[in-house]
Amino acid sequence: MLDKQDMKSAPVFHIYLLGTFEQASLDEVLSDMGMQGERLEGTTTIVSPALVLLGTGQIAPQGLADISFALPPDASPASLSHLVHMAMENVALKQSVRQLEEQATRQHRQFEELNRIGIALSAERDISKLQEFILTTMRQLTNADGASLWWKAVGEDGQPKLSLRASQNASIDQSTYQDFKVPVDERSVVGYAVTTKRSQIYDDAYNPPPNKPQGGKGFDAQYGYRTKSMLTVPMRNYNNEVVGAVQLINAKRSFETKLTVANVPNEVVSFRQEDLEMVESVASQAAVAIDNKNLLDSIQALFDGFVQASVTAIEQRDPSTAGHSGRVEALTTSLAAAVTKIDVGRYKDEYLSDDQLKELRYACLLHDFGKVGVREHILIKAKKLMPGQLEVIQARFEGVERSVQVKYATEKLEAMRRGEAGAAVLAEIDHRLEEDLVQLDRWVQGIVAANEPSVLPEDKASMLEFLSQQTYIDMAGKPHPMLDPQEFRFLSIRKGTLDPQERLEMESHVTHSFHFLSKIPWTPMMQGVPEIAYGHHEKLDGTGYPRGLTGEEIPIQARMMTISDIYDALTAQDRPYKRAVPATKALDILRSEAGEGKLDADLLDVFIAKRIYDVTATE
């Protein structure tokens, strides 16, 4: 069966005759036209461009209808000449139309492919995957065996260098990537392309065009390879600056062929002009995509630096909580990752994406930033009394002690003047003096004990109330309370170091954090950060603060942070106002709060079962 696929290119039309012709003058007409007809047999190879003239009763062979023409049996020689000319023009026109259609189809496919590549380049965030995608795509578009991506940067010596960022080779059974740099100059092919800002096509890298560098020999010697055809294209960013280059090697007849040194001459072909156009287009998109990714990474690094600086600012105001935000972040994100992986229980369908985990990370790191709005003496208050107040009370009691001593000394003198200073009388005065001094010392020790942030015992509470109602007389004879109202209020704090007013101010740090975080123009994927941080002191039963939220009103991320925050506060070794408790006791306290409906029991189960608390155990 004859097929147009068997046609070979030729510069002039070839005429083929099929069947018998009633026009006796046909051979003469063809001869006058400078042509000669060839009988079309089953084994005839048709040479293009061709015209098949059909004899009486003949039909066009399969696949040759576009180049076949049936001559009228009664046509005159002049008509035959005219008809043959018209038929050849028609065939030529059809072939031109077909070529244009094929070109349009190919360009449409290329457009669709470029569009797909552009979308993929914009969507990929992982720089390593992005680079591998760029190389794979370019190899597929050109049938290239190998590809490498180079990025321009300033070297340690202050001079621009091209750094190899990724490489692929389908015929080498090992990674061809290595940390390799070349100068931006004309001594290497990739350096030449970047320096001249022009794409380079080599038919044979070992025999480059005049005045251009060789390529591939060093690579070939290392890997036992033969680099022949080569295409090197500079990569330009949106400012039209050359920021790197892509280099393709060894365009193959078939993409699936695995090259050896022996088969390179037969299997490797030159890169085509249309390959260059496609690769230049993709290279531009790739350069912009990588540039954008690097810019995003820079912005991310800048923001991370801002977050760390914010955490440092918090910790410098309250050194006793240094590391707390980082530990809460580590615990909470580990708990979130564990919840994402579980396939049983209440949260088996809960899934937090990478963006949500990043959102949670920022919320944890910045959850206490509002403490910058809390007065420092409250923020770092380690005892119930303000700094210096205990010393004032102790000095006061020392003054009272001296007054008592003066009082009893005066009593002794009066007894002597009256002649009543017998041994028994003096001993009795000394005994009462000793009792009063012991009582004063007992009160001072009680005040020192009450100043500690531990739970205030009832006997200490009674003693404090008694002292607040007692007075002493100063040297001028004026009465003063043994404890003034503020001292009594502070020392009467039942638990911790803050009185109700101070505690409200301390708790306001949550609201301060929310207002601060709400000022940041978060991306849509990060916009939950303020709300998560706002809820980290809320309790499921509504006893938390500052809004008294309950149950599902509290975001699950905030519920996770609450568990981590409490655990770290209980086990932290650096809090001056309380002693750290062992992990086992801290978990018991968390279980108790979960049992009371304050904490999420299901999340706590994961926290304990997956030993999330081990994340900070060594810190």
For residue range 293-334, what is the model confidence (pLDDT) as tens digits?
Answer: 778 888 888 988 988 888 888 888 777 677 889 999 999 999
b or e along 261-300 (b: 16 or more beta carbons within 10 Å of the residue's beta carbon)? Answer: eeebeebbeebeeebbebbbbbbbbbbbbbbebeeeeeee
Q: Are residues 130 and 202 in the same domain?
A: yes
Calculate ∠ Cα 246-249-252, nearest 5°: 130
**259-263-266-272 Cα dihedral, nearest 10 degrees:** 20
Name the residue with higher pLDDT: 270 or 460.
270
Count the helices and strands in the chain (H runs, E runs): 19, 13
From 256, 278, 294, give the residue that closes a domain: 294
Q: Are residues 153 and 214 in the same domain?
A: yes
Residue 196, domain member (yes or no): yes
Q: Are residues 289 and 207 in the same domain?
A: yes
CB of 472 closer than 8 Å to CB of 397: no
Cα distances (Å, whole numbers) of residue 99 to 48, 81, 104, 205, 557: 14, 27, 8, 33, 62
CB of 557 closer than 8 Å to CB of 545: no
Q: Are residues 552 and 481 in the same domain?
A: no
Expressed as residue numbers, the domain containing 557 is 318-376+501-616
Least confident stretch, 119-128, 179-188, 358-367: 119-128
Kindly report the number of other CB atoms within 10 A of residue 213's CB atom: 17
Arithmetic mean of pLDDT, 403-431:
83
Q: Are residues 512 and 538 in the same domain?
A: yes
Residue 176, pLDDT > 70, answer no
Q: Are residues 66 and 215 in the same domain?
A: no
* Helix/strand/coil percent split, the chain, to 5: 55, 15, 35
Q: How many domains does the chain have?
A: 4
Residue 118, domain member (yes or no): no
Q: Are residues 342 and 440 in the same domain?
A: no
Q: What is the pLDDT at residue 618?
A: 62
Calculate ∠ Cα 404-407-412, nearest 5°: 130
pLDDT tens, residue by residue, 526-547:
999 999 999 999 999 999 999 9
Q: Are residues 60 and 139 in the same domain?
A: no
Residue 178, pLDDT > 50, answer yes
Q: What is the pLDDT at residue 177?
A: 66
Q: Are residues 194 and 238 in the same domain?
A: yes
C-alpha span between 517 and 166 (Å, rounded) = 39
Residue 399, domain member (yes or no): yes
Q: Are residues 506 and 488 in the same domain?
A: no
Q: Are residues 539 and 561 in the same domain?
A: yes
C-alpha span between 129 and 117 (Å, rounded) = 13
Arithmetic mean of pLDDT, 199-227:
91
Kindly report the number of other CB atoms within 10 A of residue 536's CB atom: 27
Residue 117, domain member (yes or no): no
Residue 599, pLDDT > 80, answer yes
From 251, 278, 294, give the residue that closes a domain: 294
Q: What is the pLDDT at residue 11?
A: 46
How high is the mean pLDDT of the chain? 86
* Cα R_g (the chain), whole angstroms: 46
275's CB contacts (< 8 A; 6+ apart) are 141, 142, 231, 251
b or e along 411-438 (b: 16 or more beta carbons within 10 Å of the residue's beta carbon)? Answer: eeeebeeeeeeeeeeeeebeeebeebee
From 493, 509, 544, give the residue that closes a domain: 493
C-alpha span between 352 and 218 (Å, rounded) = 48
C-alpha span between 23 and 118 (Å, rounded) = 61
Q: Are residues 401 and 485 in the same domain?
A: yes
